[in-house]
Protein backbone atom coordinates (compact mmCIF):
# COMPACT_ATOMS: atom_id res chain seq x y z
CA UNK A 1 0.00 0.00 0.00
CA UNK A 2 2.81 2.39 0.83
CA UNK A 3 4.43 1.60 -2.48
CA UNK A 4 1.12 2.34 -4.20
CA UNK A 5 0.87 5.74 -2.56
CA UNK A 6 4.41 6.47 -3.59
CA UNK A 7 3.61 5.57 -7.19
CA UNK A 8 0.46 7.69 -7.00
CA UNK A 9 2.30 10.75 -5.75
CA UNK A 10 4.96 10.42 -8.46
CA UNK A 11 2.32 10.13 -11.17
CA UNK A 12 0.38 13.03 -9.71
CA UNK A 13 3.45 15.26 -9.69
CA UNK A 14 4.41 14.27 -13.23
CA UNK A 15 0.91 15.02 -14.51
CA UNK A 16 1.06 18.36 -12.74
CA UNK A 17 4.10 19.31 -14.81
CA UNK A 18 1.76 19.99 -17.72
CA UNK A 19 -0.66 22.10 -15.77
CA UNK A 20 -2.46 23.76 -18.66
CA UNK A 21 -2.99 20.47 -20.44
CA UNK A 22 -4.09 18.78 -17.21
CA UNK A 23 -6.63 21.47 -16.44
CA UNK A 24 -7.95 21.47 -20.00
CA UNK A 25 -8.38 17.69 -19.88
CA UNK A 26 -10.11 18.01 -16.53
CA UNK A 27 -12.49 20.61 -17.94
CA UNK A 28 -12.99 18.52 -21.06
CA UNK A 29 -13.90 15.45 -19.02
CA UNK A 30 -16.25 17.55 -17.00
CA UNK A 31 -17.89 19.05 -20.09
CA UNK A 32 -18.31 15.64 -21.70
CA UNK A 33 -20.25 14.48 -18.67
CA UNK A 34 -22.09 17.79 -18.49
CA UNK A 35 -23.41 17.55 -22.06
CA UNK A 36 -24.78 14.11 -21.26
CA UNK A 37 -26.50 15.64 -18.26
CA UNK A 38 -27.99 18.35 -20.52
CA UNK A 39 -29.33 15.58 -22.75
CA UNK A 40 -31.14 14.08 -19.77
CA UNK A 41 -32.39 17.50 -18.73
CA UNK A 42 -33.83 18.24 -22.19
CA UNK A 43 -35.62 14.92 -22.23
CA UNK A 44 -37.26 15.70 -18.92
CA UNK A 45 -38.38 19.15 -20.05
CA UNK A 46 -40.59 17.26 -22.49
CA UNK A 47 -41.53 14.26 -20.40
CA UNK A 48 -42.25 14.46 -16.67
CA UNK A 49 -41.15 10.92 -15.83
CA UNK A 50 -39.92 7.65 -17.25
CA UNK A 51 -41.20 4.32 -15.87
CA UNK A 52 -42.28 6.13 -12.68
CA UNK A 53 -38.84 7.53 -12.12
CA UNK A 54 -38.79 11.30 -11.76
CA UNK A 55 -36.12 13.71 -12.98
CA UNK A 56 -34.32 14.00 -9.64
CA UNK A 57 -34.42 10.23 -9.12
CA UNK A 58 -32.83 9.71 -12.51
CA UNK A 59 -30.20 12.31 -11.63
CA UNK A 60 -29.42 10.39 -8.47
CA UNK A 61 -29.05 7.19 -10.44
CA UNK A 62 -26.95 8.90 -13.11
CA UNK A 63 -24.59 10.46 -10.58
CA UNK A 64 -24.05 7.15 -8.75
CA UNK A 65 -23.21 5.44 -12.02
CA UNK A 66 -20.90 8.24 -13.12
CA UNK A 67 -19.15 8.36 -9.74
CA UNK A 68 -18.33 4.65 -9.71
CA UNK A 69 -17.32 4.67 -13.36
CA UNK A 70 -15.02 7.66 -13.06
CA UNK A 71 -13.34 6.26 -9.95
CA UNK A 72 -12.73 2.99 -11.77
CA UNK A 73 -11.49 4.81 -14.83
CA UNK A 74 -9.09 6.89 -12.77
CA UNK A 75 -7.55 4.12 -10.68
CA UNK A 76 -7.93 1.09 -12.95
CA UNK A 77 -6.83 3.03 -16.02
CA UNK A 78 -3.90 0.63 -16.49
CA UNK A 79 -6.25 -2.07 -17.71
CA UNK A 80 -8.06 0.34 -19.96
CA UNK A 81 -4.84 1.23 -21.79
CA UNK A 82 -3.62 -2.35 -21.62
CA UNK A 83 -3.35 -2.87 -25.41
CA UNK A 84 -0.60 -0.26 -25.49
CA UNK A 85 1.17 -1.80 -22.49
CA UNK A 86 1.27 -5.12 -24.33
CA UNK A 87 2.15 -3.83 -27.75
CA UNK A 88 5.07 -1.68 -26.63
CA UNK A 89 6.58 -4.49 -24.61
CA UNK A 90 6.13 -2.79 -21.28
CA UNK A 91 4.36 -5.85 -19.95
CA UNK A 92 7.51 -7.93 -20.40
CA UNK A 93 9.31 -5.54 -18.12
CA UNK A 94 6.51 -5.78 -15.61
CA UNK A 95 6.74 -9.56 -15.57
CA UNK A 96 10.41 -9.67 -14.64
CA UNK A 97 9.91 -7.48 -11.58
CA UNK A 98 9.36 -9.24 -8.25
CA UNK A 99 5.91 -7.81 -7.67
CA UNK A 100 2.40 -8.84 -8.55
CA UNK A 101 1.52 -7.98 -12.17
CA UNK A 102 -1.91 -6.60 -11.35
CA UNK A 103 -0.41 -4.32 -8.72
CA UNK A 104 2.09 -2.94 -11.19
CA UNK A 105 -0.43 -2.40 -13.96
CA UNK A 106 -2.65 -0.57 -11.50
CA UNK A 107 0.05 1.49 -9.88
CA UNK A 108 1.91 2.67 -12.95
CA UNK A 109 -1.11 4.19 -14.67
CA UNK A 110 -3.33 6.52 -12.73
CA UNK A 111 -5.17 9.14 -14.72
CA UNK A 112 -6.10 11.97 -12.41
CA UNK A 113 -7.72 14.09 -15.10
CA UNK A 114 -10.49 11.48 -15.26
CA UNK A 115 -11.70 12.92 -12.00
CA UNK A 116 -13.35 15.65 -14.09
CA UNK A 117 -16.24 13.27 -14.56
CA UNK A 118 -16.25 12.57 -10.84
CA UNK A 119 -16.61 16.30 -10.27
CA UNK A 120 -19.74 16.32 -12.42
CA UNK A 121 -21.04 13.30 -10.51
CA UNK A 122 -20.38 15.13 -7.25
CA UNK A 123 -22.34 18.19 -8.37
CA UNK A 124 -25.30 16.13 -9.47
CA UNK A 125 -25.20 14.15 -6.26
CA UNK A 126 -25.14 17.32 -4.20
CA UNK A 127 -28.17 18.56 -6.11
CA UNK A 128 -30.09 15.30 -6.20
CA UNK A 129 -29.58 14.15 -2.60
CA UNK A 130 -31.78 16.87 -1.03
CA UNK A 131 -34.17 17.21 -4.01
CA UNK A 132 -34.92 13.59 -4.80
CA UNK A 133 -37.48 13.25 -2.02
CA UNK A 134 -35.64 10.31 -0.49
CA UNK A 135 -35.90 10.14 3.28
CA UNK A 136 -32.23 9.88 4.20
CA UNK A 137 -32.17 7.31 6.97
CA UNK A 138 -28.79 5.77 7.95
CA UNK A 139 -29.48 2.57 6.02
CA UNK A 140 -30.18 4.57 2.86
CA UNK A 141 -26.92 6.48 3.23
CA UNK A 142 -25.20 3.14 3.63
CA UNK A 143 -26.94 1.89 0.47
CA UNK A 144 -25.63 4.88 -1.45
CA UNK A 145 -22.07 4.16 -0.38
CA UNK A 146 -22.36 0.43 -1.06
CA UNK A 147 -23.69 1.20 -4.56
CA UNK A 148 -20.67 3.33 -5.46
CA UNK A 149 -18.24 0.77 -4.05
CA UNK A 150 -20.02 -2.10 -5.83
CA UNK A 151 -20.01 -0.14 -9.07
CA UNK A 152 -16.33 0.60 -8.75
CA UNK A 153 -15.52 -3.10 -8.44
CA UNK A 154 -17.81 -4.26 -11.24
CA UNK A 155 -16.35 -1.68 -13.63
CA UNK A 156 -12.87 -2.72 -12.52
CA UNK A 157 -13.81 -6.31 -13.32
CA UNK A 158 -14.96 -5.28 -16.78
CA UNK A 159 -11.70 -3.43 -17.40
CA UNK A 160 -9.79 -6.54 -16.30
CA UNK A 161 -11.75 -8.70 -18.77
CA UNK A 162 -11.04 -6.16 -21.49
CA UNK A 163 -7.34 -6.32 -20.68
CA UNK A 164 -7.30 -10.13 -20.42
CA UNK A 165 -8.74 -10.45 -23.91
CA UNK A 166 -5.70 -8.51 -25.10
CA UNK A 167 -3.51 -11.46 -24.11
CA UNK A 168 -5.10 -13.33 -27.00
CA UNK A 169 -5.91 -10.61 -29.52
CA UNK A 170 -3.09 -8.17 -28.69
CA UNK A 171 -5.46 -5.30 -29.26
CA UNK A 172 -8.54 -4.00 -27.56
CA UNK A 173 -11.88 -5.50 -28.46
CA UNK A 174 -14.27 -2.78 -29.52
CA UNK A 175 -17.27 -4.79 -28.44
CA UNK A 176 -16.30 -4.53 -24.78
CA UNK A 177 -17.04 -0.80 -25.01
CA UNK A 178 -20.73 -1.52 -24.90
CA UNK A 179 -20.26 -2.85 -21.34
CA UNK A 180 -17.96 -0.10 -20.10
CA UNK A 181 -18.71 3.16 -21.93
CA UNK A 182 -22.14 1.82 -22.82
CA UNK A 183 -22.94 1.00 -19.22
CA UNK A 184 -21.96 4.51 -18.23
CA UNK A 185 -24.07 6.08 -20.98
CA UNK A 186 -27.15 3.91 -20.61
CA UNK A 187 -26.81 3.44 -16.86
CA UNK A 188 -27.89 7.02 -16.33
CA UNK A 189 -31.43 5.64 -16.36
CA UNK A 190 -32.37 2.69 -14.13
CA UNK A 191 -31.83 -0.42 -16.24
CA UNK A 192 -35.46 -1.49 -15.98
CA UNK A 193 -36.52 1.06 -18.62
CA UNK A 194 -34.74 -0.96 -21.32
CA UNK A 195 -37.15 -3.84 -20.85
CA UNK A 196 -37.07 -7.24 -19.19
CA UNK A 197 -34.56 -8.91 -21.48
CA UNK A 198 -31.89 -6.31 -20.91
CA UNK A 199 -32.55 -6.28 -17.18
CA UNK A 200 -32.22 -10.07 -16.90
CA UNK A 201 -28.99 -10.00 -18.89
CA UNK A 202 -27.55 -7.29 -16.67
CA UNK A 203 -28.59 -9.21 -13.57
CA UNK A 204 -27.32 -12.68 -14.33
CA UNK A 205 -24.58 -12.30 -16.94
CA UNK A 206 -22.91 -8.92 -16.36
CA UNK A 207 -24.04 -7.85 -12.90
CA UNK A 208 -24.47 -4.16 -13.66
CA UNK A 209 -28.07 -4.06 -12.45
CA UNK A 210 -27.05 -5.56 -9.10
CA UNK A 211 -25.36 -2.35 -8.02
CA UNK A 212 -27.63 -0.01 -9.93
CA UNK A 213 -31.29 -0.99 -10.38
CA UNK A 214 -32.10 -3.17 -7.34
CA UNK A 215 -30.42 -1.14 -4.60
CA UNK A 216 -31.77 1.97 -6.29
CA UNK A 217 -35.29 0.64 -5.79
CA UNK A 218 -34.53 0.32 -2.10
CA UNK A 219 -32.92 3.75 -2.01
CA UNK A 220 -35.95 5.50 -3.47
CA UNK A 221 -38.36 3.52 -1.34
CA UNK A 222 -39.97 1.74 -4.30
CA UNK A 223 -39.13 -1.56 -2.66
CA UNK A 224 -38.49 -2.36 1.00
CA UNK A 225 -36.62 -5.63 0.52
CA UNK A 226 -33.56 -5.22 2.68
CA UNK A 227 -31.78 -7.81 0.53
CA UNK A 228 -31.61 -5.30 -2.35
CA UNK A 229 -29.42 -3.09 -0.22
CA UNK A 230 -26.67 -5.70 -0.10
CA UNK A 231 -26.79 -6.85 -3.71
CA UNK A 232 -23.85 -4.59 -4.71
CA UNK A 233 -21.69 -6.64 -2.35
CA UNK A 234 -22.69 -9.77 -4.26
CA UNK A 235 -21.86 -7.95 -7.48
CA UNK A 236 -18.30 -7.59 -6.21
CA UNK A 237 -18.01 -11.37 -6.51
CA UNK A 238 -17.97 -10.69 -10.25
CA UNK A 239 -14.28 -9.91 -9.74
CA UNK A 240 -13.57 -13.60 -9.08
CA UNK A 241 -14.28 -14.87 -12.62
CA UNK A 242 -12.58 -11.75 -14.00
CA UNK A 243 -9.39 -12.44 -12.08
CA UNK A 244 -9.51 -16.14 -13.03
CA UNK A 245 -9.81 -15.11 -16.66
CA UNK A 246 -6.88 -12.75 -16.18
CA UNK A 247 -4.72 -15.58 -14.81
CA UNK A 248 -5.82 -17.83 -17.63
CA UNK A 249 -4.82 -15.16 -20.13
CA UNK A 250 -1.54 -14.51 -18.37
CA UNK A 251 -0.54 -18.14 -18.74
CA UNK A 252 -1.17 -17.93 -22.48
CA UNK A 253 0.69 -14.68 -22.91
CA UNK A 254 3.32 -14.59 -25.62
CA UNK A 255 5.30 -11.42 -25.93
CA UNK A 256 4.89 -9.35 -29.07
CA UNK A 257 8.65 -9.25 -29.23
CA UNK A 258 8.94 -5.55 -29.74
Partner 1 sequence: MKKYLSLFRIRFIHGLQYRAAAWAGVSTQFAWGSMTILMFWAFYQNSGNRFPMTFHQLSTYIWLQQAFLSLFMSWYFDNDIFESIIRGHVAYELCRPVDIYTMWFLKNMSVRLSRAVLRCMPILIAAVFLPKPFSVSPPADLTGALMFFVSISLGFLLMVAFSMLIYITAFTTISPLGIRILAVSTLEFFTGAIIPLPFFPEGLQKIMAILPFAYMQSTPFLIYIGSIMGPDILIGVLLQMIWLLMLILTGRTLMKKALKKVVIQGG
Contact residues toward partner 1 (CB under 8 A) are 18, 20-21, 23-25, 27-29, 31-32, 34-36, 38-39, 42-43, 45-51, 173-175, 177-178, 182, 186, 189, 193-195, 198
- Nearest CB to partner 1, comparing residues 143 and 192: 192
SS (H, E, C) the chain: CHHHHHHHHHHHHHHHCCHHHHHHHHHHHHHHHHHHHHHHHHHHHHCCEECCEEHHHHHHHHHHHHHHHHHHHHHCHHHHCHHHHHHCCHHHHHHHCCCCHHHHHHHHCCCHHHHHHHHHHHHHHHHHHHHCCCCCCHHHHHHHHHHHHHHHHHHHHHHHHHHHHHHHHCCCCHHHHHHHHHHHHHCCCCHHHHCHHHHHHHHHCCCHHHHCHHHHHHHCCCCCCHHHHHHHHHHHCCHHHHHHHHHHHHHCCCCCCC
Distance CA(162)–CA(175), nearest Å, equals: 9
Residue 230 beta carbon to partner 1: minimum distance, rounded to whole angstroms: 27
Residue 42 beta carbon to partner 1: minimum distance, rounded to whole angstroms: 6
Residue 175 beta carbon to partner 1: minimum distance, rounded to whole angstroms: 5
- Nearest CB to partner 1, comparing residues 95 and 178: 178
Distance CA(31)–CA(131), nearest Å, equals: 23
- Nearest CB to partner 1, comparing residues 197 and 257: 197
- Nearest CB to partner 1, comparing residues 201 and 230: 201
Residue 209 beta carbon to partner 1: minimum distance, rounded to whole angstroms: 14
Residue 181 beta carbon to partner 1: minimum distance, rounded to whole angstroms: 9
- Nearest CB to partner 1, comparing residues 46 and 254: 46
Residue 130 beta carbon to partner 1: minimum distance, rounded to whole angstroms: 25
- Nearest CB to partner 1, comparing residues 179 and 228: 179
Sign of CA dihedral 255, 4, 108, 161: positive
CB 68 within 8 A of CB 148: yes
Residue 24 beta carbon to partner 1: minimum distance, rounded to whole angstroms: 2
- Nearest CB to partner 1, comparing residues 4 and 175: 175
Amino acid sequence: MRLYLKYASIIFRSQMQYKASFIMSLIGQFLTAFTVYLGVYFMFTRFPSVNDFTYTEVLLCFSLMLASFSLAECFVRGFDTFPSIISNGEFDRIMVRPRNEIFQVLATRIEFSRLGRFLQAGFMLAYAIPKSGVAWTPDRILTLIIMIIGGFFVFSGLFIIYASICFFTLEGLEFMNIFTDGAREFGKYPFSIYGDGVLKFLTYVIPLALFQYYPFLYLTGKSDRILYMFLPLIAILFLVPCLLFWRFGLRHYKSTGS
